[in-house]
Amino acid sequence: MKPYCRDTWVEVNLDAISANVRTFRAHTPKQTGIMAVVKADGYGHGSVQVAREAIAAGADTLGVAMLDEAIVLRKAGITEPVLVLGYTPLDSVEKAHRWDVELTAYQADWIREADRLLLQSENPAKPLGIHLKADTGMGRIGVREIPELLEVTEALAAAKRLAWTGIFTHFACADEPDTSHVKAQHERFQEMLAALREIGYQLPLVHCCNSAAAIVFPEWGYDTIRLGISLYGLYPSPYLKERQDIQLVPALSLKTRIAHVKTAAEPFTVSYGATYTAQPGEQVATLPIGYADGFSRAFSNRGIVLHNGMRAPVVGRVCMDQTMVRIDQGNARVGDEVVLYGKQGTEEFSLDEAAAILGTINYEVPCMLNARVPRIYLRNYECVEICQGIVKG
């Protein structure tokens, strides 16, 4: 018996995750490692399940956005190196040390205070790993000038309970046809690395490539790439999808089953605000999914779903828990499977197309899907795990 009650679910194809890791393994230099980025619960796919699959396929490290996400992996028994790519408050440094999670740093004062806090702790474990972040043109976090970099590096070198384990930057425009910005960023990063070498520092793990840069500039792989959006079979931009440098396999599908069907004998309005009127003979099906699940209200009167391998438009406003669609073939039945994202037969409604309708990027669409929607994990088309975020046990 399935451990959830509503007929709405996400399917995650683990074979696709493995295939995408292998694709980048073949595309990048042999000596370059792969950091599987599983932040935001694996971009909505499930961080633990994706991390395990990526590691089995050849990834050797993991990246997350915050310490809480790293602890989820550790509690699941994952022992591979995990790096927090974003900011970590000083009051969480000891917890990171306890869970053996590497942190990102870019402020000398933060490094000195973190070291002081760990010196006060009674934990005799190995030093806490630190990756220095260089801001070469992203404008978020990181050191911007070489004197600042040298000050931060000096503070880290003097620390007793911290270990310098990495240095990295992040590209802002690696997915665009104009490569001038990304090349300038890479040149700036090389200048920073050279400045460190010139005063005698032995560089630790060096990384700069996100998915986009790894596709276009695999020779910039250094010691590892950070495989994010493309781990899940999605291209960082329409431009890179059109280039076809590599072939990716989308891992996620969103599915539901029809809960009710009505055929208009006379005109009737549909959903809040009466923004759509069904005409005589039209068939309207109700789906048990809404914006509370992460199926955006912006799909109202604009979205597309698949039924019996045919496209069906969303009609009326998407509700919190229900959505209505028009079945032009008139063959809908209660219980019929409907695909909201993914393939059905020869037809597909991709996350890229959904993002275009919503006026956003494909990254955001799966990230919106929340814990109300169970995840079903498939390998060789067979269910190997079900994760339900509401019902436990």
Residue range 54-88, pLDDT digits in tens: 999 999 999 999 999 999 999 999 999 999 999 99
Q: Which of 6-10, 122-126, 229-233, 351-355 has the lowest mean pLDDT?
A: 122-126
Mean pLDDT of 202-228: 98
Res 392: pLDDT: 60
**Binding site: what residues are annotated?**
140, 320
Domain ranges of the chain: 14-234, 252-361
CATH of 252-361, one of 2.60.40.1930, 3.10.580.10, 3.40.30.10, 2.40.37.10: 2.40.37.10
Distance CA 353, CA 366 (A): 13
Owner of token pair 């793990």: 205
Looking at domain 14-234, its CATH superfamily turns out to be Alanine racemase (3.20.20.10)
Amino acid at 319: C
Mean pLDDT of 300-326: 98
**CA dihedral sign, ordered 270, 275, 279, 285:** negative
The answer to whether residue 95 is catalytic is no
Are residues 157 and 215 in contact, defined by beta-carbon separation less than 8 angstroms? no
Which of the residues 39, 222, 255, 276 is marked catalytic? 39
- Cα–Cα–Cα angle for 319, 296, 47, rounded to 5 degrees: 120
The answer to whether residue 87 is catalytic is no
Res 389: pLDDT: 78
368-388: per-residue pLDDT in tens? 999 999 999 999 999 999 998
CB-based burial label for 325 (10 Å; 0-12, 13-18, 19+): buried
Res 3: pLDDT: 77
Q: Which of 3-7, 70-74, 252-256, 299-303 has the lowest mean pLDDT?
A: 3-7
307: left (phi over 0), alpha (psi -120 to 50) or beta: beta
Mean pLDDT of 4-22: 96
7 pLDDT more than 80: yes
Q: Which of 2-6, 107-111, 322-326, 389-393 has the lowest mean pLDDT?
A: 389-393
What tokens appear for 134 in the block? 């260089």
Confidence of residue 391 (pLDDT cuts 50, 70, 90): low
Please state, rounded to an integer, the average pLDDT across all residues of the chain. Answer: 97
Res 6: pLDDT: 87
Mean pLDDT of 325-346: 98
Which of the residues 106, 201, 272, 343 is marked catalytic? 272
**Binding site for substrate: what residues are annotated?**
140, 320
Distance CA 109, CA 90 (A): 11
